[in-house]
Structure 1
Amino acid sequence: MVVEVTIMQKQVTIIGSGIVGAVTAYYLSADPTLSVTLYDEGIGQATKNAAGIIFPWLSKRRNKRWYQLAKAGAALYPEIVADTQMGYSVYQQAGTVVTRENPDDLQALYDLALERRKTAPQMGNVEKLSAAEVQDKIPLLTAPQPGVFVSGGARVDGDKFAHNLLKYAEKRNLVRHKGKVRLGDQGQLLTVNGQQAYDTLILAVGAWLKPLLLPMKIVADVRPQKGQLIEMQLPETWGDDVPVLMPEGERDFIPFTRNKLVVGATHENDQGYDLQASDLVENDLFASGYKLDSRLRKDQITQVKVGTRAYTRDFAPFFGPLPDNPHILVASGLGSSGLTTGPMIGKLLADYVRTGKHDWDNYQLPVENYLTPAD
């Protein structure tokens, strides 16, 4: 006699398809004991509109927890990319150049890179370059400065990365839905198709966490920051080994594979959730790129991308279960380093869902620091 045993799957629901939601879904979809559902509004997402620089090691931030989180996130990319067989159009570890005009500042930056490499071998090779050597690595430049090159630096197309992860997860154990969702006062998940049940709910909605939690009388310490960048298609092409440039005093200059150039992004604190592209900002971004490559033309701009980042008062991300509701997990406050810290946050959340255990005190302050009861 054969007895069939039915295993009840735990229902995990994710709200948000940005970097945190996508990575969390990727890891959770590998677990056959889980039924994973993801809801996506896709509005103003920071992941889709980010410059895509993966380079945390020379940051001057004093927040040691943030640095450990960012360092771990950067180290996770090659593993995920290899496992999912993503191509160069998504992720390229071509290195990063950071420039400094003053020789003393350049030497200090070089010394910092050597020191940080002792605990971050994924940085790879570190070289101090003359202006001419910088131009050899980045032929687009017409006004190069001396700099420090770190071979482990990378660029990622956040939109393609998240999209590919979700497609990969759908082949395993993920169901996706489009449309607006909201929460009831007791954490009920309310969709266009009515209330949906869940065992665990993960809110990975970035800057939209604050309005989403308000019905539960919880105020999240999150403020929106507008970010804009320009994409350009240039007539010349280049190889896969052209590094990212983080120039002194100008916007970041990111040559993607073949002939796509990205310049940006801005950090605008007074625009709220506005997603309108600004002609003034577009001109500013172009002017910054033009200072680096005087051959650029305005008609080479193919689009202005606009997204909304989430920031906290101490500029640190937070993630984990709500203090009074362990079945609801949140993640927000990633700021402009979201594509760097996001993968590790997603992995940590997935590990917590699967095991019920966590060890993330080295990465953040308690989540309670960022959530307070509403008046």
Structure 2
Amino acid sequence: MEKQIAIIGGGIVGATAAYYLSTLPGGQQVKVTLFDDGLGQATTAAAGIISPWLSKRRNQQWYQLAKAGADLYPQLIHDAQLGTDVYQQTGTIVTREIPTDLELLFDLAQERRQTAVTMGSVTTLTAAEVQAKIPLLANAQPGVFISGGARVDGAALVAGLLAQATAKNLTIRRERVHLTAQGQVVTSLGARQFDRVIVAAGAWAKELLAPLGITADVRPQKGQLIELAVKDYPIQENMPVLMPEGERDFVPFGHGKLIVGATHEDDGKFNLQVDPTVTADLFASAQRLMPSLTTANITGTRVGTRAYTSDFAPFFGPVPDHEAILVASGLGSSGLTTGPQVGRLLAGSALYGGTPDWSEYEKPLATYLKPSAE
């Protein structure tokens, strides 16, 4: 008898879970339905940097999860037959103006490299060497170069993973759904019972879990970035991504496309309107690195809603007292890095059951999911 699995949310976690549910052993005995209305999703608005190794976060569980996510990417991209327009290991440059800060950053990179083979090589670069690698820059600072760093286009990644899964066992329904107190999925056609439900709806997880008598520690945060058309250098497709000190992330793609951002706007919540003031701030950051830019170079903006917990750590796993329902949320701005690993773990749990121990990657779920009476 076929197992019926629902996924609520088609962002990085939901799309990766759908992909693995179509490729893991036993997937041929599963029918998967993914529900997503397409509004506000963080992943499709995101283009980001896969380079968690120099993070100063003290949460070691988060670091292990992010490191595992970075490690997973090359194999995932290869297996899903996705191209360099989706993901490419171009390397990452993190800049520091003060020499002692640069030395500390290099020492941290060398230390982290001992347990992170995916980092590749680590070297320090002068300002001139940084500019040689990213000739778009006019005002470069010295930095640390990590050859294993990568860039990823969130929308293209999700589209590619869902296309692979749809060819096998996935049906996509473009609608908003909710859960009943019994864990049924209420759709436009009525309530439906699934063998497993994966709630991967980001900041909307709180609303979805409420009928189960669960209060989720998760809040929305608005993020906005800009796309710019710039000079198309022959090497641009292989330019490193840049995390400049004091400025927004700087992500060159091929064919003269540059992404700058994204912002972290706590007061923006679920607002998906482009804020001209924020656009101006993002552009000013880009212009400080490339003074020749004008607003005519702006070709578009993207806005999405991230999910954060009060301690900025993600959570995922079976919902307490509702073991057939799995949830993931709170990935924040590291969603593109941590999401694939979370989606893979949830897919395995949905297929095979059991009580997996993911304490290496997260605090107990009870930290974030409380009975509503409390």
* Structure 1, 349-358 or 281-290: larger mean CA deviation: 349-358
Inter-partner Cα distance in structure 2 for 1:296 and 1:169: 41
Matched residue type, 1:364: E
Determine the C-alpha separation between the residues in 2 that align with 1:179 and 1:128.
49
Deviation at 1:215, TM superposition (A): 2.1
Q: TM-score, normalised by structure 1?
A: 0.96
1:294-329 deviation per Cα after TM superposition (whole angstroms, max 9, x unaligned):
111111111111110000011000001110110011
Instruction: Give 2:35's match in structure 1, choosing from 11, 33, 39.
Output: 39
Partners of 1:144 and 1:238 in 2: CA distance: 20
1:251 alignment partner in structure 2: 248
Q: Deviations over 1:58-95 (max 9, x none)?
A: 00000000000000001111001111221111111100
Match of 1:223 in 2: 219
Query: Does 1:26 find its partner at 2:19?
Result: yes
**Partner of 2:328 in structure 1?**
331
After superposition, give the CA deviation of every residue in 1:207-260 in whole Å (9 maximum; x if it has no partner).
111111222221100010110100111243342210000000000111012211
Matched, 1:86 2:82: yes
Q: Provide the rounded CA distance (Å) in 2 between the counterparts of 1:318 and 1:38.
A: 21
Q: Does the 8 Å contact 1:88/1:257 carry over to 2?
A: no
Map 1:283-322 → 2, pairs under 5 A: 283-322=280-319
Question: Could you say which residue in structure 2 is the equivalent of 1:356?
Answer: 353
Give the counterpart letter for 2:312 in structure 1. F
**Kept in 1: contact 2:232–2:254 (CA 8 A):** no
1:290, CA displacement in angstroms? 0.3
Partner of 1:368 in structure 2? 366
Q: How many residues align?
A: 368
One-letter amino acid matched to 1:295: S
C-alpha separation in 1, matches of 2:179 and 2:80: 33
Matches of 1:321 and 1:238, distance apart in 2 = 48
Q: Match for 1:171 among 167, 171, 177? A: 167
Gap change, CA 1:69 and 1:11, over 3 Å in 2: same
Preserved contact between residue 238 and residue 259 of structure 1 (Cα < 8 Å)? no
Query: Which residue of the partner structure matches residue 127 of structure 1?
Result: 123
TM-aligned CA deviation for residue 185 of structure 1: 2.2
* SS of match in other structure, 1:82: helix
Task: Return the match for 2:342 from 322, 345, 354.
Answer: 345
Is the deviation greater in 287-296 or in 210-219?
210-219
Equivalent pairs: percent with the same residue? 59
Among 167, 176, 180, which residue is 2:176 paired with? 180
Distance of 2:255 and 2:114 partners within structure 1: 33
Cα deviation for residue 183 of structure 1 reads 1.2
What is the distance in 1 between the residues matched to 2:316 and 2:341? 11
1:63 maps to amino acid: N
Work out the CA distance in 2 between the residues paired with 1:297 and 1:89.
26
* Correspondence 1:12 to 2:5: yes
Q: Any conservation in 1 of the 2:36–2:175 contact (CA below 8 Å)?
A: yes
In structure 1, distance between residues paired with 2:211 and 2:357: 30
Q: CA RMSD in A?
A: 1.0
59-68 or 192-201, larger mean C-alpha shift: 192-201
Shift of 1:271: 1.7
Secondary structure of 2:220 counterpart? strand
Whole-angstrom distance in 2 between the partners of 1:92 and 1:321: 33
Q: 1:64 is matched by which residue type in structure 2?
A: Q
Rounded to whole Å, the distance in 2 between the matches of 1:172 and 1:316 is: 33
